[in-house]
A = this chain, B = another copy of it.
Amino acid sequence: MVFIATSLDGYIADRDGGIDWLHSIPNPDNLDMGYGDFTAPIDALVMGRVTFETVCGFDMDWPYQKPVFVLSNTLHRIPEKFAGKAHLVKGTIPEILEQIHQKGFYRLYIDGGGTIQNFLKEDLIDSMIITIIPKLLGGGIPLFAELPGPLDFECTESKVYSNRVVQNTFVRKR
């Protein structure tokens, strides 16, 4: 499962990899826009090294209550500070999934552009909740990339938050 925000033109980060524009929309009621409901039934998170290092760089406490699996074939170990919270996994996507499933984690929150793209290439994404921040960035790092073939989804729900931001839920139609 995926829960991610994109710009209106489909970018998850700007040209410099920045995500400050995500917070350019006022959120006076401090809405979580469904994040709590989405994460409650999740068993674990799966993210790439880039997302992991971005989260590590945030000036805040570790934000996840669930185990986090970090996909990386270059990272040697998880920094001491995050031991027990984040776990390094290596291999192909099917191999990694096998390892995670063996630990009893099935409902997975797949995060980070590269990781989502790699899971989509293997047709391993069942649903995506995509929050559109209604700004054209005009360039940046796209959420979607080339795929070996088309994949059909259905939009099962759509919500407008703060009269401005729209969140669409897409479920894989197999």
Give bound CA distance, A119 to B33, whole Å: 32
Q: Is A132 an interface residue (CB 8 A)?
A: yes
B138 in contact with A149 (CB, 8 Å): yes
The count of residues in chain A whose C-beta lies closer than 8 Å to any C-beta of chain B is 37
Most buried by B among A155, A156, A164: A155
The complex places the Cα of A136 from the Cα of B8 at a distance, in Å, of 16
Q: Is A27 an interface residue (CB 8 A)?
A: no
Q: Does A84 count as interface, using CB distance less than 8 angstroms?
A: no
- Per-residue CB contact flags for chain A residues 124-137 toward chain B (1 = under 8 Å, else 0) read 00000000101111
A59 CA to B145 CA in the complex, in Å? 33
Interface membership of A158, Cβ < 8 A: yes
CB distance from A130 to the nearest CB of B (A): 8
Determine if A4 is an interface residue (Cβ-Cβ < 8 Å). no
CB of A97 closer than 8 Å to a CB of B: no
Which residues in A have some Cβ–Cβ distance to B below 8 Å? 8-10, 21, 24, 120, 132, 134-139, 143-144, 146-160, 163-166, 168, 170, 173
Pairs across A and B, CB under 8 Å, 29 listed: A8-B144, A9-B144, A10-B144, A21-B150, A24-B152, A120-B136, A134-B152, A134-B154, A134-B155, A134-B170, A135-B151, A135-B152, A135-B153, A136-B151, A137-B150, A138-B149, A138-B151, A139-B146, A139-B147, A155-B160, A155-B163, A155-B164, A155-B165, A155-B166, A156-B160, A157-B160, A158-B158, A158-B159, A166-B168
